Structure 1
Amino acid sequence: MQFDFDNKQRKEILKTVSEKLENYYSSTKDFKTNPDLNIKEIRESILTKELANGISPDKAIEHVIKGLETFSVHTPHPKYFGLFNPRSNYAGIIADLITATYNPQLAAWSHAPFAVEVEELIIREFANKFGYDGNADGVFTTGGAEANLTAMLCALNHKYPNFAKDGAFGLDKKPVVFCSAEAHHSIQKAAKVVGIGYSLVESIPVTDELKLDTEILQQKLNELDLSVYSPLMIIGTAGTTGTGTIDELNQLSFICKKNNIWFHVDAAYGGGAILSQDLKHQLTGIEKSDSITFDAHKWMSVPMGTSIFLTSKNDILGKTFRISTEYMPKEADKLTITEPFTHSIQWSRRFIGLKIYLSLLFYGWQGYEQTINHQAEMGQYLRNKLLKSGWLIKNYTGLPVVCFTKADFETDTNFTKEILDKILAKGKSWLSVYPIKGIPTFRACITNYNTTEKEIDELVDELNDEVISYVGQ
């Protein structure tokens, strides 16, 4: 069959791919961190007449590899200090290869019992790590956005027993979602998708420490016109995207319990701290939540699209997503199992959990704790290095996210932009700018387990050199 190739051809193709990927994986630090964003050149590189009849595998692979190496921000680079896009560990890469080859279908338990049970095990492991009891439930998702959407659907189905049948048309009051002004915008997107509208997402201002202000939250709850509105859920963030801040989870859980409101914690990034004995105390209170979002493709360094939704309500996923069909396999009807398609937004889906399972088989929980502790230590090293060079740290977090600026330039709107543009143009490091209380700050996050003091020293030296150049203009 043409799609298969023969045994010899397959081995040659795999050898070609393996050699090129190994070259990139072992020498990522030699690449520029980011490309020149020439959209005309990028589009012209993709346009080819060869799509009609195809070309040789070697040429096709060379074309794709060259495109990715030339026109990508190299997030696996040890001097990528950007968003939560880490270098993939090798076990995760192999897991994706295995999954693509076997291509198990996780809609029905009987089609992929090993894969489904692996994911069930990982769900139970993480539920235990986060402090949920043995009745907890959960599901793998494609990302934090899907997990947060799942949380909102679960909250609606928990509060309104007929929501699955009648939807928003059956609601007698408008459900309100409360979250921090620093919360991820997937919350607004979820409100759009479920049909309540993002105008019902109430963004609560933050304190001087950039945490959701619980006093203002309580005031908003007290002022809510209960003849028109009904509080649906409160979302605490454990590791905000901009500043790595963790909200007061204990206090939020108290408010939720007192007012009978669903408590969700978006721990997409910061949830990784639960794997460290030194860091997990920062998440105290998360065990009291009704649900949790956690992205393993952030701090656990596995390939993209590896997220988990957990809930302490073991029946809510079934209430939210259960449906019956005639065409789905029935072999498992008499077994004490949960059919995956009745348990999540997705139907046909990939074996997402293997990336975590194989990583744990390779490195163990202990290996992850060491890696997470190392990145936290590098975050503190960066803070200390910046302070010694006269920079101001503008955020407050025990996670390796550092926002900083110079005191003399806090009101200079050109300062961060000009320096960032020059650093990105050189392609030695990648970082971003994030506004805190109206002040643009540089944002650097340790996302790579291979980042050491050497790379941090080089980043700070780059920054200091650009400041000298800026002052001398």
Structure 2
Amino acid sequence: MQFDFDLKQRKRILETVFEKIENYYSSTKDFKTNPDLNIKEIRESILTKELAIGINPVKAIQHVIKGLENFSVHTPHPKYFGLFNPRSNYAGIIADLITATYNPQLAAWSHAPFAVEVEELLIKEFANKFGYNRNADGVFTTGGAEANLTAILCALNHKYSKFARDGAFGLDKKPVIFCSAEAHHSIQKAAKVVGLGYNLVKSIPTTNDLKLDTEVLLQEIKNLDTSVYSPLMIIGTAGTTGTGTIDQLNQLNYICKKYNIWFHVDAAYGGGAILSQDLKHNLSGIEKSDSITFDAHKWMSVPMGTSIFLTSKDDILGKTFRITTEYMPKEADKLTVTEPFTHSIQWSRRFIGLKVYLSLLFYGWQGYEQTINHQAKIGRYLKSQLLKNGWVIKNNTNLPVVCFTKNEFETDSNFTKKILNNILANGKSWLSIYPIKGISTFRACITNYNTTEKEIDELIDELNKEATLYAKQ
């Protein structure tokens, strides 16, 4: 069969792939951090006529590698200080290769019992790390957006016993979701997808330290017209995308318990702090939540699409997703196992958890704690060097996310815009801009375990040079 190739061809293909990815993996820092966004050139570089009959596999691989190297922001670069897109650790890369080769189907337990049990073990491990009891449940998801969507569905099925049958049409009142104005926009997207509409997501202003203002939240709950609306859930964020802020989780839990509201914590980024004895205290209160979103593809440095939804309610995933079919395998009917397709949004399921499992087998929890502590240390170094060089920091978090500017240019939005354009054009570093209380700031996040003080010093030099040139204009 031509899809398989023969042994000699397969070896040649794999050798080509290994040679190319090893060159990239070992010399990522030598690439420009970002490409020139010439859409015409990018589109013209993509082969189209060749799709009809195909081309030589080695040439095809070389073509794809060249495209990715020339036209990608290189998030694995040690001077990528952007969004939460880390360099993939090697175990995660190998795990993706293994998964693609064996291609286990995790919809039914009996089709992939080893893989399903690995993921079940990991769910219990993470639930324990976050402080949930032994009856906690959860599932691997394709991303934080799916996990947050799962949380909303669970909250609906918990509050409304007939929601699975009747959906939103069976509700006598409109469910309201409360979250910070700094919360991730996947919340609004999930509200749209589930059929509630984003108007039922109430964004609560933040305090001066950028945390959800609990006093305003309480007033919003008290002001609800209960003849029309009913509070469904409160979402606290542990590590906001913009500023790395962690909401007052204990206070949010108190409000949820007082008003019988589902408490969800979006810890997609900041949840990684739970793996560090030095940082885990920042997540105090998360153990009291009803559910948690956590992205392993952020601070755990595994390839994209590796997220986890956890819940302290051991029956809610079944209530939300359980369904019976005639065509699914029945071998596990008499076993004390959970069929994955009855437990999540996904039906056909990839072995997502292997990226985490193999990484833990390679590096252990101890290795992860060291890595996370290293990144936190580099974040502190970045703050200290910025302050030493006359920059002012505008956010306050123990996570390695730093938002900063110059006092004299706070009201000049062109300052950050002009300097960022120059830095990106140079291709030595990648960072972004984030507005805080009407002030445009630079945002730099330590996402790469290979980032050292050397890269920070180079970034500071680059920023200082650009700021000096700007001041002379």
Q: Answer whether TM exceeds 0.5 for this pair.
A: yes
Q: Which amino acid aligns with 2:127?
A: A
| CA distance in 1 between partners of 2:74 and 2:454 (Å) | 18
Aligned match of 2:456: 456
1:379-410 per-position Cα deviation (integer Å, ceiling 9, x unaligned): 00000000000000000100000000000000
| CA distance in 2 between partners of 1:45 and 1:233 (Å) | 48
Q: Which stretch of the first structure deviates more once superposed, 22-31 or 44-53?
A: 44-53
Aligned match of 2:387: 387
| CA distance in 1 between partners of 2:390 and 2:447 (Å) | 24
1:39 and 2:71 aligned: no
Aligned match of 1:437: 437
Aligned match of 1:166: 166
- Deviation of 1:47 after TM superposition, in Å, equals 3.5
Aligned match of 1:264: 264
Q: SS in structure 2 opposite 1:414?
A: helix
- After TM superposition, the structure 1 = structure 2 runs for residues 150-161 of structure 1, keeping only pairs within 5 Å, are 150-161=150-161
Aligned match of 2:126: 126
Aligned match of 1:187: 187
Aligned match of 1:110: 110
Aligned match of 2:337: 337
User: Kindly, what percent of the aligned residue pairs are identical?
Assistant: 86
| CA distance in 1 between partners of 2:12 and 2:58 (Å) | 9
- After TM superposition, the structure 1 = structure 2 runs for residues 10-21 of structure 1, keeping only pairs within 5 Å, are 10-21=10-21
| CA distance in 2 between partners of 1:176 and 1:9 (Å) | 58
The structure 1 segments of at least 4 consecutive aligned residues displaced by more than 4 Å after TM superposition are: none
Q: Which amino acid aligns with 1:200?
A: L
1:27 and 2:32 aligned: no
- Deviation of 1:378 after TM superposition, in Å, equals 0.3
Aligned match of 2:86: 86
| CA distance in 2 between partners of 1:213 and 1:47 (Å) | 52
Aligned match of 1:61: 61
- After TM superposition, the structure 1 = structure 2 runs for residues 408-423 of structure 1, keeping only pairs within 5 Å, are 408-423=408-423
1:263-296 per-position Cα deviation (integer Å, ceiling 9, x unaligned): 0000000000000000000000000000000000
- After TM superposition, the structure 1 = structure 2 runs for residues 354-365 of structure 1, keeping only pairs within 5 Å, are 354-365=354-365
1:196-232 per-position Cα deviation (integer Å, ceiling 9, x unaligned): 1100000000000000000000010111111110000
Q: SS in structure 2 opposite 1:193?
A: helix
Q: SS in structure 2 opposite 1:252?
A: helix
- Deviation of 1:472 after TM superposition, in Å, equals 1.2
Aligned match of 1:138: 138
* TM-score (normalised: structure 2): 1.00
- After TM superposition, the structure 1 = structure 2 runs for residues 233-272 of structure 1, keeping only pairs within 5 Å, are 233-272=233-272
Q: Which amino acid aligns with 1:316?
A: I
Aligned match of 1:325: 325
Aligned match of 2:211: 211
| CA distance in 1 between partners of 2:89 and 2:240 (Å) | 24
| CA distance in 2 between partners of 1:467 and 1:403 (Å) | 16
Q: Which amino acid aligns with 1:311?
A: T
1:222-254 per-position Cα deviation (integer Å, ceiling 9, x unaligned): 111111100000000000000000000000000
Q: Which amino acid aligns with 2:189?
A: K
Aligned match of 1:407: 407
| CA distance in 2 between partners of 1:299 and 1:111 (Å) | 31
- After TM superposition, the structure 1 = structure 2 runs for residues 66-77 of structure 1, keeping only pairs within 5 Å, are 66-77=66-77
- Deviation of 1:349 after TM superposition, in Å, equals 1.3
* Pairs aligned (count): 473
- Deviation of 1:48 after TM superposition, in Å, equals 3.0
Q: Which amino acid aligns with 1:454?
A: K
| CA distance in 2 between partners of 1:100 and 1:47 (Å) | 24
Q: Which amino acid aligns with 1:409?
A: F
Q: SS in structure 1 opposite 2:72?
A: coil
Aligned match of 2:7: 7
- Deviation of 1:8 after TM superposition, in Å, equals 1.1
Q: Which amino acid aligns with 1:171?
A: L
* TM-score (normalised: structure 1): 1.00
Q: SS in structure 1 opposite 2:175?
A: strand
Structure 2 runs not aligned, ≥5 long = none
| CA distance in 2 between partners of 1:59 and 1:349 (Å) | 32
- Deviation of 1:39 after TM superposition, in Å, equals 0.3
| CA distance in 2 between partners of 1:345 and 1:241 (Å) | 25
Q: Which amino acid aligns with 2:261?
A: I
| CA distance in 2 between partners of 1:161 and 1:144 (Å) | 26
Aligned match of 2:295: 295
Aligned match of 1:309: 309
Q: Which amino acid aligns with 1:452?
A: T
| CA distance in 2 between partners of 1:283 and 1:102 (Å) | 38
| CA distance in 2 between partners of 1:401 and 1:299 (Å) | 12
Aligned match of 1:198: 198
- Deviation of 1:49 after TM superposition, in Å, equals 1.4
| CA distance in 1 between partners of 2:16 and 2:467 (Å) | 45
Q: Which amino acid aligns with 2:128?
A: N
- Deviation of 1:377 after TM superposition, in Å, equals 0.3
| CA distance in 1 between partners of 2:201 and 2:430 (Å) | 33
| CA distance in 2 between partners of 1:91 and 1:14 (Å) | 18
| CA distance in 1 between partners of 2:191 and 2:53 (Å) | 45
